[in-house]
């Protein structure tokens, strides 16, 4: 339905059921370690925070500490590698952060992004809704969607998570080194 040649009104069909939940795996833990530390050997050093440490990290970072377990690896070059997960409005993001021996951020990589509401494609007539499709292009049900556009979703949970991990490093991991 066109309002003009440049403005197209897209009909919103009845919301029958969920479209597919978006779940993307970007990197495995091993791949992220290699991306950040190359061939340097990585040693797992899982950390369990006590109540006092959790309080101190909360105070230093201004971010609530919800779990006591921190997934930590030490690189042979003295760097650190931490894996964490944060929950946003409707998404679960697992990410890794690499720190050099002095606690400076080398790199942040999202490992996995998952939107929670799952389900099947159940839109009646959804195949008619392709927009901006060139004549002759074939589209089949089940073809992958290659991206999603929408209002920008804030990633403040990730930036909060990074702040919490940096405080964890400064207060707990650095003194261990």
Partner 1 sequence: MNRLRRARPWLGTLVEISVASDLDTPRLLAAVEAAYAAIAAVHGTMSVHEPASELSRLNRSAHLAAVPVSPGLLTVLRAALAFAEDSDGAFDPVVGGRLTALGLLPASEVMAAPQATWRDLRIDGDQVRFRQPLRLDFGGIAKGYAVDLAVEQLRAAGIAEAQVNAGGDLRVFGLAPQRIALRDPRAPSQWSQIVELHDQALATSAPYYAAGSSPSALIDPRSGSPYAGADSLSAIASSCLVADALTKVALFATPSRLEALLEQHDAQLLIQRCAD
Binding site for partner 1 (CB under 8 A): 3-4, 6-10, 12-13, 15, 18-19, 21-22, 24, 26-27, 35, 89-91, 93, 95, 108-110, 113, 115-117, 123, 126, 129-134, 137, 139, 143-156, 158-159, 162
Supply the minimum distance, in Å, between the C-beta of residue 18 and partner 1. Answer: 5
Supply the minimum distance, in Å, between the C-beta of residue 50 and partner 1. Answer: 29
Buried b (16+ CB within 10 A) or exposed e, 72-104: bbbbeeebbbbbbebebeebebbbbbbbeeeee
Residue 58 or 160 having the CB closest to partner 1: 160
Check if the beta carbon of residue 166 is closer than 8 Å to that of residue 84: no
Supply the minimum distance, in Å, between the C-beta of residue 42 and partner 1. Answer: 19
Residue 48 or 149 having the CB closest to partner 1: 149
Residue by residue, DSSP assigns 73-120 as EEETTS-EEEEEEEE-SSEEEEEEEEE-TTS-EEEEEEEEEEES----
d(CA 145, CA 151): 18
What are the structure tokens assigned to 168, written together?
């964890």
Residue 59 or 117 having the CB closest to partner 1: 117
Residue 147 or 175 having the CB closest to partner 1: 147
Supply the minimum distance, in Å, between the C-beta of residue 105 and partner 1. Answer: 11
């Amino acid at each position: 339905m066109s309002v003009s040649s440049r403005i197209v009104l897209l009909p919103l069909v009845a919301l029958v059921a969920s479209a597919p939940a978006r779940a993307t795996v970007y990197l495995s833990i091993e791949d992220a370690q290699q991306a950040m530390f190359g061939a340097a050997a990585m040693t797992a050093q899982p950390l369990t925070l006590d109540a006092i440490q959790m309080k101190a990290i909360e105070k230093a970072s201004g971010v609530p500490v919800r779990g006591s377990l921190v997934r930590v690896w030490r690189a042979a070059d003295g760097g650190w590698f931490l894996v964490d997960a944060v929950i946003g409005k409707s998404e679960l993001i697992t990410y890794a952060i690499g720190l050099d021996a002095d606690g400076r951020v080398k790199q942040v990589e999202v490992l996995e992004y998952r939107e929670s509401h799952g389900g099947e494609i159940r839109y009646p007539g959804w195949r008619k809704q392709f927009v901006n499709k060139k004549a002759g292009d074939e589209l089949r049900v089940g073809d992958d969607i290659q991206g999603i556009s929408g209002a920008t979703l804030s990633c403040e949970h990730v930036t909060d998570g990074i702040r919490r991990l940096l405080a964890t490093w400064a207060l707990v991991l650095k003194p261990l080194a």
